[in-house]
Chain A
Amino acid sequence: MKLHRPSNRHLIFALALLVLPFVIDALFGHGWVRIADFALLYIMLALGLNIVVGYAGLLDLGYIAFFAVGAYTYALLGSPQFGLHWPLWVVLPICALSACFFGVLLGAPTLRLRGDYLAIVTLGFGEIIRIFLNNLNAPVNITNGPQGISGIDPLRIGEFSFSRTHELFGVEFSSVHLHYYLFFAFTLLIIFISLRLQHSRIGRAWMAIREDEVAANAMGINTRNIKLLAFAMGAMFGGISGGLFAGFQGFVSPESFSLMESVMVLCMVVLGGMGNVSGVVLGGVLLVILPELFRNGAGPVQQALFGKILIDPESLRMLMFGLALILVMIWRPAGLWPSTQRRRELMPSEEVALQEQGTVYDATK
Chain B
Amino acid sequence: MTQQSDVLLKLSGVAKHFGGLAALSAVSLHIQRGEIYGLIGPNGAGKTTLFNIITGLYQLDSGSFTFNGQAYARSKPHVLAQAGIARTFQNIRLFANMTALENVMVGRHLRTHAGIWGALSHNRSAREEEQAIAERAHELLRYVGIHRPSNTLAKNLSYGEQRRLEIARALATEPKLLALDEPAAGMNATETESLKELMKKIRETGVTVLLIEHDVKLIMGLCDRVAVLDYGKKIAEGVPELVRNNPAVIAAYLGGDADIPQDEHDLEIES
Contacts from A to B (Cβ < 8 Å): 193, 196-197, 200-205, 207-208, 211-212, 214-223, 229, 233, 341-342, 344-345, 348-349
Chain A residues closer than 8 Å to B87, beta-carbon distance: 218
Say whether B208 faces chain A, with CB atoms less than 8 Å apart: no
Whether the Cβ atoms of B156 and A219 lie closer than 8 Å is no
Q: Tell me how many residues of B have a C-beta within 8 Å of chain A.
A: 46
Chain B residues closer than 8 Å to A212, beta-carbon distance: 93-96
A207-B98, A220-B81 given; name 6 further pairs at CB < 8 Å. A201-B109, A201-B112, A215-B94, A216-B95, A222-B76, A233-B116
Chain B residues closer than 8 Å to A345, beta-carbon distance: 99, 151-153, 156
Say whether B202 faces chain A, with CB atoms less than 8 Å apart: no
Least CB separation from A216: chain B residue: B106
Count of A-B residue pairs with CB < 8 Å = 114
Interface SS of chain B: mixed
Binds A, one of B9-17, B118-126, B221-229, B232-240: B118-126
Say whether B86 faces chain A, with CB atoms less than 8 Å apart: yes
Least CB separation from B173: chain A residue: A220
Least CB separation from A193: chain B residue: B120
Whether the Cβ atoms of B110 and A220 lie closer than 8 Å is yes
Whether the Cβ atoms of A200 and B119 lie closer than 8 Å is yes
Chain B residues closer than 8 Å to A220, beta-carbon distance: 77-78, 81-82, 86, 107, 109-110, 173
Whether the Cβ atoms of A221 and B119 lie closer than 8 Å is no
Least CB separation from B121: chain A residue: A196
User: A201-B112, A208-B98 are known contacts. Are A214 and B119 too (CB-CB below 8 A)?
Assistant: no
Whether the Cβ atoms of A196 and B122 lie closer than 8 Å is yes
Chain B residues closer than 8 Å to A344, beta-carbon distance: 151
Least CB separation from B134: chain A residue: A1
Chain A residues closer than 8 Å to B97, beta-carbon distance: 207, 211, 342
Least CB separation from B127: chain A residue: A2
Chain A residues closer than 8 Å to B156, beta-carbon distance: 345, 349
What CA separation (Å) do A222 and B76 show in the bound complex? 9
Whether the Cβ atoms of A341 and B109 lie closer than 8 Å is no
Q: Name the interface residues of B71-122: CB closer than 8 Å to any CB of A.
A: 76-78, 81-82, 86-87, 89, 93-99, 102, 105-110, 112, 114-116, 118-120, 122
Whether the Cβ atoms of B120 and A204 lie closer than 8 Å is no
Say whether B216 faces chain A, with CB atoms less than 8 Å apart: no
Partner of B149, one of A201, A207, A223, A348: A348
What CA separation (Å) do A50 and B116 show in the bound complex? 17
Chain B residues closer than 8 Å to A208, beta-carbon distance: 95, 98, 106, 109
What CA separation (Å) do A219 and B110 show in the bound complex? 8
Chain B residues closer than 8 Å to A218, beta-carbon distance: 55-57, 77-78, 81, 86-87, 89
